[in-house]
Amino acid sequence: MILHFSFKLLVSRRKIFCRFSLNKQYRVLCHASVDTLWQKIINLADVSWHPIINQTNVPNGLVPKPGLIYQVVTRFTPIPIRIFVEQVCPRELLSVRFLAIPGIENRVTYQVESTVCGTYVSYSVTLRGWLSPFLWWVIRPYVARVAANLAHAAERVAA
């Protein structure tokens, strides 16, 4: 687990601006194969393992590609949130950006890495904006479980 939090107070043209930034990464060892983990990550229609996302509007079988925009409903609120797929490297990386509230920029990256010990899955969260400390306070306990839930779901499929 890696945490980086920064707060900057900027003065420009006689105005004071606050800039918040938070980067957090979780990494979990999984005994499922890279292919099994990758299939679980890119199956955007099945997010039953995700502690924050309740459902999506993505049809089964749709493979995420950069530029794809879809909607999710979180477990906190019934209001749909749009998600933009930024980057996809097959069997390695999926990066998405949540387009929810002005004042918050939320980027999430899933990364899969095969090693001799097993397969590592990393879940990184980057929050920026003046509302990010409040959002982090709300989602922090759930975000901490995403990588572990993903690994357990992939191991159940592999078994």
Block mean pLDDT (10 aa), the chain, length 159: 53 63 91 94 94 93 94 90 95 93 88 92 91 87 93 88
User: Tens of pLDDT along 59-82?
Assistant: 998 999 999 999 999 988 888 999
d(CA 117, CA 31): 8
- The pLDDT assigned to 128 comes to 87
The edge-to-edge listing of strands for the beta sheet with 15-30 is: 2-12, 15-30, 119-128, 105-114, 93-99, 80-89, 69-74, 53-56
* pTM for this predicted structure: 0.86
